[in-house]
Structure 1
């Protein structure tokens, strides 16, 4: 009798709230998936990539290759990875998560991040999201990076420490700023608050954000974690801005 009630409840729910594409909201066979048209517009980042920045190469140069970007502009973190290129459907998902009051997108986006950054997740001790300033948090009501980080920590069985890093002053939105302006905008904006050093001291930290653009925000956050005693920091984001990348979509078997 109980099974019959559960089946009936699922049937009613499927009629009232049908499973729809995460992007365009057309009907799909399973919740948390994309329709074939939208799926074809997602550009996953997969090997060959720079071992440091995670930037995709258009040609395979062999194992452990490092990009010119990593050599010319060293970052304070150890490794960075992202699931998809920040364009088209991926950009739309990020904007809806960040500005569209749709935190329910986070679990599905986090699963793609887990596949892209599996090694980073396996080797970290604690997951820390890039924080919002309290004013922006009150306006938005949630931190999209924390929603992603929470899911990644839960799936990986890792400690989740959202209070280990705080944004101590409000910053302008980074959209439209040059690389130098972005760096100046977030310089000194983060710190490990007193009493929370124990969460990161001597530990391998996985820093989570929604988008890697120029690396200015992630760099400032990483420096704060290192000052707070973190042994080293790896970075994992949902999407990555890669200007002028003309590579074809790659779909690893894990996807």
Structure 2
């Protein structure tokens, strides 16, 4: 850690008691008092659902014990092997994770990036050898202008801060605005995303032969991440693993109004 980072950490720690006095720590889900900033109360922690075992080795979808005995991959991944190198999801999408994501993504509570990113980092091994590139799913420039930030980029910054790889925040670009994918079939999603995502001009040399961690807040249908994975592999990436805060399984959350990813 450089001296600037050490200084920043010291200042933050020194101001902590003052910040807590002016803004007492509150749970971002229910508003209950908590011990420290950036966490959840015990009741809300218990409402989060975390990936467990047995689960598909490729997509992390929960599997029944009988199915896991027959194969380490789910039926869908055996039928159509994914091009990505695995999914690391911090939570399974449910009401609690949905509330956190909506507050973070649409409610302007960007401070939640620390909590969400910390949980995501816990699902990733520390890199060995050359660190992977950490690449966020891109937003179109008009969407960034409307929202003010790219939530995936904030999460990618947190993963880099936790030592999970080298941040490449603008490696991918969204060349055209895409409509909401909710309610569309697989082919319609593919057509909507055709030509929408590409590797930034000049970023190909950085991506070639590198392992990549692709970062998003929620993984639902996988249409957007599939387009990102294809662009990265076409640019020569050695492998692409997906990291997200919440993973939708069995269709849960598809009706909540979040855009399918």
TM-score class, shorter? 0.7 to 0.9
Q: Any idea what SS the aligned residue of 2:228 has?
A: helix
Closer, same or farther: CA 7–149 of 1 in aligned 2, 3 Å? closer
> TM-score if structure 1 supplies the norm length?
0.86
- How much does 1:122 deviate? 5.4
Q: Give distance in 2, aligned partners of 1:146 and 1:8.
A: 28
Q: Which structure is richer in relative contact order (CA contacts within 8 A, separation 6 or more)?
A: 1
CA distance in 2, matches of 1:240, 1:110: 14
CA distance in 1, matches of 2:128, 2:153: 19
Q: Which residue is 1:128 aligned to?
A: 135
Q: Which structure 1 residue ranges, 5 or more long, are not aligned? A: 1-5, 246-255
Question: What is the aligned partner in structure 1 of residue 104 from structure 2?
Answer: 97
Residue 234 (structure 2) pairs with residue 237 (structure 1): no
Per-residue displacement from partner, 1:175-217 (whole Å, max 9, x unpaired)? 3333333222212211112211122111011100011101110
1:82–1:117 CA contact under 8 A, matched in 2: no
Question: For residues 80-119 of structure 1, what are the structure 2 equivalents within 5 Å?
Answer: 80-118=87-125
Matching residue within 176, 180, 183 for 1:173:
180
Q: Does 1:41 align with 2:47?
A: yes
1:1-255 equivalences under 5 Å are 10-59=16-65, 61=68, 65-118=72-125, 125-156=132-163, 158-243=165-250
Pair 1:244–1:127, CA change in 2 (3 A): closer
Judged with a 3 Å threshold, the aligned counterparts in structure 2 of structure 1 residues 240 and 140 are, in CA distance, closer, same or farther, namely: same
SS of the equivalent of 2:47 reads coil
Q: Take 1:233 and 1:189, find their aligned partners in 2: how far apart are those partners?
A: 19
Residues 137 and 215, structure 2, Cα contact 8 Å, conserved in 1: yes
Assess if the C-alpha contact under 8 Å between 2:156 and 2:215 holds in 1. Answer: yes
Go from structure 1 to structure 2 and tell me whether the alpha carbon gap of 1:58 and 1:116 turns closer, same or farther (over 3 Å shift): farther
The offset of 1:81, in angstroms, is 1.8
Equivalent position of 1:3 in the other structure: none
1:12-40: per-residue Cα shift (whole Å, max 9, x none)? 43232011113122111122221122112
Report if aligned partners of 2:124, 2:164 keep a CA contact under 8 Å in 1: no
Distance 1:192 1:8, change over 3 A: closer
Alpha-carbon shift at residue 117 of structure 1 (Å): 2.7
| Alpha-carbon distance in structure 2 between the residues aligned to 1:174 and 1:210 | 16
Identify if the C-alpha distance between structure 1 residues 63 and 113 changes in structure 2 by more than 3 Å, giving closer, same or farther: farther
Aligned mates of 2:71, 2:135 — CA distance in 1:
27
- Contact 1:51–1:64 (Cα < 8 Å) also in 2: no
Quote the RMSD (CA, aligned, Å).
2.4
Larger mean CA deviation between 46-55 and 230-239 belongs to: 46-55
Alpha-carbon distance in structure 2 between the residues aligned to 1:24 and 1:241: 23
